[in-house]
Every structure is written in C-alpha cells, then in structure tokens.
Amino acid sequence: MAAAPGSPSSLKASLPWVGPFAVFVALLAVAPMLGPASRMTLAAWVLIVAAAIFLFSRNVLEFRPSRPLASIGFGIAVFAVWVAPDLLFPGWRSSVLFQNSLTGKLASSLGTDALADPLALALRSLRAILIVPIVEELFWRGWLLRWIERPDFESVPLGNYHRNSFWLVALLFAMEHGPYWDVGFLAGAGYNWWMIRTRRLSDLILAHAVTNACLCAFVLVTGRWEFWL
C-alpha cells in the first residue's frame, strides 16, 4: 500500500530528492542577512550543500547519461535561449514586467571585492556548474515532476509525461529565476522535455551543468554580472 502524503515513510522517500534543495533555499534566505557574497561565504555555501548532497542523495544519484553528446548540445542550446533576449534587444529587462517587487532587481549577489577576487569567482562558478544542477534536477525533475502527478512519486517512472506537472514545474522554475522568469520558463519547459526524452536524471544534470558553465564563461568574459543573481 502506498504511503500517505506527509507520512513519515513518504517524507523519508522524498528526503534524498528534496533535502539538498531545502538546504540550498535556506542558504538563499539567509544570504541577504550576511551582505554581499565573499570567498568565505561562497566556500561555506559549496561545502554545506555538497555535504547535504552526500548525506541525503548519494544513493539516488547516478552519473551515467544515456545521451552525453546530445545532452551537452542541449545544454548549450538552453544557454543560447537564456542570453538571447538581452543580446538581441538591449534594455530588454528594464521593463517593470521583469523588475518589480515580486521578481526583484537585476543585481549580482557578489560584492565589489568578490568581483575582483579570482577565488571568489571560481567558487561562484563551481557552485553554478557542479552544485546547482544536482540540487535543482533532484528537486524539479527528479521529485516534483513526479510528485505532482502522484504523491506516491516513486511509483512514477522518471521522465513520465503528465501535462499538469510538466507546465506547473516549468512555471515554478520560471518564478525561481526572478527577473529572468521568461527565459526561466523556456528553460524549465526545455529541461522537462529533455527528461521525457532521456528518462535519466544524469542527462538532465549534465545538460544543466553545461548551460551554467556556458553562462559562467559568458559572465566572466563580458562582465555582465547581473546574470549572476
């Protein structure tokens, strides 16, 4: 018999998928109280979330993508979608549609000192490329995409298509990205589709990591720090 939603067994089953993301969100909530990110706070962030991934999720993670080259290409395509509006239409995000009391403002979380600190920039890139894809894909595509379809989410295969969960997860993923909600929605829908195509969490982690790696390179080369919220 399936565990009831909210029961101890249900919460235990969800913990490997949700635990690291919960720690990640808690750190996001605390971050503004600590001021602009520095090398010390970034190092602590990486270590804490990496520890959460190891403690909670090591038994559900696998790193054997079924379509590695295609996933790399897909990650590059998502990056192109992410930066395209701002490159094609200068001032695209100056509208109240993107910057308001709900979505927040375009401003880097890094302080002035961190922007001139190679170690801080390396740690910020490390977080984006190695930590964030694991945490977010465990939660969004590994857990929530299935849980919305059926609270007994373990009975739902990875990559199973369900219209309501597909679009709701894309919408929530968009909301997570503040002033970049428009491209966040497209990326969320794209990642959902890629999960349906590959049915492997490792393909999603790889694609997401490539997207973030391209974005980090773009930010470091161009100095467009606002892409690092």
Residue pLDDT, tens place only, 16-65 = 999 999 999 999 888 878 777 888 989 999 999 999 999 999 999 999 99
Predicted pLDDT of residue 157: 96
Which has more confidence, 5 or 20?
20
Average pLDDT of span 192-221: 98
- In the predicted structure, residue 6 carries a pLDDT above the cut 60: no
- In the predicted structure, residue 144 carries a pLDDT above the cut 70: yes
Confidence tier at 114 by pLDDT (50, 70, 90): confident
Predicted pLDDT of residue 219: 97
- In the predicted structure, residue 228 carries a pLDDT above the cut 90: yes
Nearest Cα to 23, choosing from 46, 52, 47? 52
Predicted pLDDT of residue 35: 76
What angle is formed at CA 59 by the lines to CA 54 and CA 65, rounded to 5 degrees?
95
- In the predicted structure, residue 224 carries a pLDDT above the cut 90: yes
- In the predicted structure, residue 2 carries a pLDDT above the cut 60: no
Predicted pLDDT of residue 38: 84
Which has more confidence, 110 or 215?
215
The span from the CA of 79 to the CA of 163, in Å, is 25
Task: State which amino acid sits at residue 205.
Answer: I
- In the predicted structure, residue 81 carries a pLDDT above the cut 90: yes
Please report how the helices 201-222 and 181-198 are oriented relative to each other, as an axis angle in degrees rounded to 10.
150
Predicted pLDDT of residue 1: 45
Average pLDDT of span 149-178: 96
Q: What is the mean pLDDT of the chain?
A: 93
Please report how the helices 68-88 and 181-198 are oriented relative to each other, as an axis angle in degrees rounded to 10.
160
- In the predicted structure, residue 7 carries a pLDDT above the cut 60: no
